[in-house]
Amino acid sequence: MFKELEMICKVYENESYAYDETPKPVAPKPAEFVVVKPSNSQEVSEILKFANSKRIPVFIRGGGTGLSGGAVPTRRGILISTEKMKEIEIDKKNRFAICQVGVTLEELSRTAERHGLSFPPRPGAESATVGGMIATNAGGVRALKFGVMRNYVLGLEVVLPNGEIINLGGKTLKNSSGYSLLHLMVGSEGTLGVITKAIIRLLPPLKEMSMLAIPFKKTEDALNFAIEASLYTTPMAIEFMEKKAVEIGEKVSGKRWVKKEGEAHILAIFEHEEEAEEVAEIALKFDPVDVFVPSPKEQRDLLELRGNIYVGLKNMIIEILDVCVPPAEIGKYLKRSEELALKYGIQLITYGHLGDGNLHQHPLIYEDWQKSYPKFRRELLKLAIDHGGVISGEHGIGVVKKEEFREFYPKQYNLMKEIKKVFDPNGILNPDKIF
């Protein structure tokens, strides 16, 4: 099977492509696969024509930073790595980038900045690729003010499973021309087509960033502060960390949080200094331990601390749960999730994007976790739905949440399966993901 593929393109074998960043306890086991590294949509087209004719599964991999097993080859097949698809062009007058999907977040941001523009969202690790971020509709720290990937995708070049190349959307901000097949591709996790090129909306340069670091004595006060602050201004981010998460970030980064007193800690980020000043006054109404205004160097240290929490946890956890609930429901959800964890004897480390309701909860590995954890997990995800939320805010369904997705969203699940059949009747694209 794979020898015939070598007549179309160069074939590689590399075990490093067998995994992404999904925590090992829940990561899917890879099957036998070969790697191909196309440079453009035409080469992708030839690969898919071959695979579709032979009914060979095809998996698509960007930067390998995913956390739901979405890029792992779970059946004997072909893995398309987008690492050679690096072309990028900036249209400054119209404020967008035209780029191939192997371009990383860092490359997109730096290229935009060199042209006097910006790509404000931070929807993933700097090594995450445009294609991967679009495929999972990634969000990240700055989603509160700047939105998620869906808000920046104007157009896509997509190769369908039969090898046909289509263009969706275009170069305009508005488009009311029929069904939005463009947005159907965003968040489709590689199950409908292979995205090869994107037109990405850019914005004017960001102003100098301002920040507040605020420890609160009680979690309830921190949550009420975030709701109140968001009524008066739109911060770039309001990040929440419980005390245990702060201590882990300190240990890994070597940096120090402003004060460890209190059970809830807020890192609020603003585009304008006057916004930070206004929110600092609001914070004083909610009994904080103190309100700190970090210097530029301290800002970098605090961001490094926040960014290293997962690094310190990754070998201790079963998985990363990324539910998203309406911000006003976070307090009730956190209280009930802590009660649920206590019931099962599970330790949860929680932090996340408080401003948009997207929480990252890390259950720590415990003895014989395989016996009781699946039941706890199901109850926790159902709890998010009961509070008006969703089971994944930014990581995607992938392999790890597909059973709960089928159970909790039966009508949507069946509709999506029918859509999948229209695009991919032979079921070759990213099998075992979502469905």
What does the DSSP 8-state code read for residue 205? P
Cβ-based neighbour number of residue 336 at 10 Å: 16
- What is residue 7's predicted lDDT score, i.e. its pLDDT? 81
Give the start-to-end residue ranges of the domains of the chain. Answer: 2-83, 88-201, 210-309, 316-395
- What is residue 3's predicted lDDT score, i.e. its pLDDT? 77
The reply to whether CATH 3.30.70.2740 applies to domain 316-395 is yes
Cβ atoms of 404 and 396 closer than 8 Å? no
Q: How confident is the model at residue 8 (pLDDT cuts 50, 70, 90)?
A: confident
Tens digits of residue pLDDT in 323-345 = 999 999 999 999 999 999 999 99
Separation in Å, CA 422 to CA 51, 149, 241, 319, 399: 17, 25, 43, 33, 21
CATH fold of 210-309, please?
Alpha-Beta Plaits (3.30.70)
Separation in Å, CA 403 to CA 171, 308, 336, 406: 38, 30, 23, 5
For residues 295-309, average pLDDT: 95
Tens digits of residue pLDDT in 241-285 = 999 999 999 999 999 999 989 999 999 999 999 999 999 999 999
Residue 413 above 80 pLDDT? Answer: yes
Q: How confident is the model at residue 1 (pLDDT cuts 50, 70, 90)?
A: low
DSSP string, 69-114: STT---SSEEEEE-TT---EEEETTTTEEEEETT-BHHHHHHHHHH
Tokens of 417: 């399966």
Bridge-partner residues for 363, per DSSP?
348
Residue 2 above 90 pLDDT? Answer: no
Tokens of 88: 């990028």
Tens digits of residue pLDDT in 102-139 = 999 999 999 999 999 999 999 989 999 999 999 999 99
CATH number at 2-83: 3.30.43.10
Could you give the percent of the chain with pLDDT greater than 70? 100
- What is residue 138's predicted lDDT score, i.e. its pLDDT? 97
Q: Say yes or no: do domains 210-309 and 316-395 share a fold.
A: yes
For residues 384-394, average pLDDT: 98
CATH fold of 88-201, please?
3.30.465
Tens digits of residue pLDDT in 309-327 = 999 999 999 999 999 999 9
* 273-308 per-residue burial string, b: 16 or more CB within 10 A, e: under 16: eebbeebbebbeebebbebbebeeebbebbbebbeb
For residues 181-193, average pLDDT: 98
